Amino acid sequence: ASEASEAQTLDSDDIIVTPQSQSCPKADSEKMCIEIVSLAFCPEAEVMSDENIQQVYVEYKFYDLPLSETETPVSLRKPRAGEEIHFHFNKVIDLDPVEQQGRRQFLFAMLHAQDPEEGRLKFTVVSDPLDEKNECQDVGYAYLELWQVLQSGSDILEQELKIVSPGDQAIQIGRLKVSLRAAAALHSIYKEMTEDLFS
């Protein structure tokens, strides 16, 4: 359904709407959003039977951002067989063309990486021990290819990534659901950087 015309908003004189605090929200080409949605483990994965692993969180690294901003603020109980745990942890990363050149260059380098290892965003599933004595331990990795987004020109919405074992990356231990809203920004970054190259 289309939005109603102003003519339909009878009596709107009685209502006072305050101006937006963000009068012009940031353009899509000047930000990206990463959401860690949910995760599940394969029922037969070792992590399921490992009693030292009781709760987990997920983190990723992004250029200059401190980990405290890119890790889920809570650890959740380890999912049971067939269960999914839900973080809905959404982070908007400012990619202002003037103030955040460093981040834009960082993303461009990822898009251009020769080594596929460097062209992807790495998510780490971490076991958070219940007692202070034990240390956090990586239980799995998941990778998101950035060039996919640039190539397809569309955002990634709730895509399931394989979680692989840190010991043997050929072994899948679970699934991590993520969203990446970055198509407009990556397009703009790629255009801006390649224009620089050839001008």
Partner 1 sequence: MGEPESLVPDTGAVFTFGKTKFAENIPSKFWFKNDIPICLSCGDEHTAIVTGNNKLYMFGSNNWGQLGLGSKSAISKPTCIKALKPEKVKLAACGRNHTLVSTDKGGVYAAGGNNEGQLGLGDTDDRDTFHQICFFTPKDSIKQLSAGANTSAALTEDGKLFMWGDNSEGQIGLKNKSNVCIPHEVTVGKPISWISCGYYHSAFVTTDGELYTFGEPENGKLGLPNQLLINHRSPQRVLGIPEKVLQVACGGGHTVVLTEKVVYAFGLGQFGQLGLGTFLFETSEPRVIECIKDQKISFISCGENHTALMTDVGLMYTFGDGRHGKLGLGMENFTNQFFPTLCCNFLKFTVQLIACGGCHMLVFATPRLDAIDESEFEE
By CB under 8 A, is residue 8 in contact with partner 1? yes
Residue closer to partner 1, measured from CB, 75 or 124? 75
Mask for 26-45, x = binds partner 1 (CB under 8 A): -------x------------
Residue 70: CB minimum distance to partner 1, A: 11
N-term to C-term CA, the chain: 46
By CB under 8 A, is residue 157 in contact with partner 1? no
Count, residues in the chain: 199
Residue 119: CB minimum distance to partner 1, A: 26
Q: Within 61-120, which residues bind partner 1 (CB under 8 A)? A: 72-77, 83-92
The per-residue DSSP string of 121-155 comes to EEEEEEE--SSTTS--EEEEEEEEEHHHHHHH-S-
Residue 102: CB minimum distance to partner 1, A: 20
The per-residue DSSP string of 164-189 comes to E-SS-TTSEEEEEEEEEE-HHHHHHH
Residue 73: CB minimum distance to partner 1, A: 6
Residue 104: enclosing H or E segment and its boundaries? helix 101-112
Residue closer to partner 1, measured from CB, 88 or 191? 88
Structure tokens at 86: 């839900």
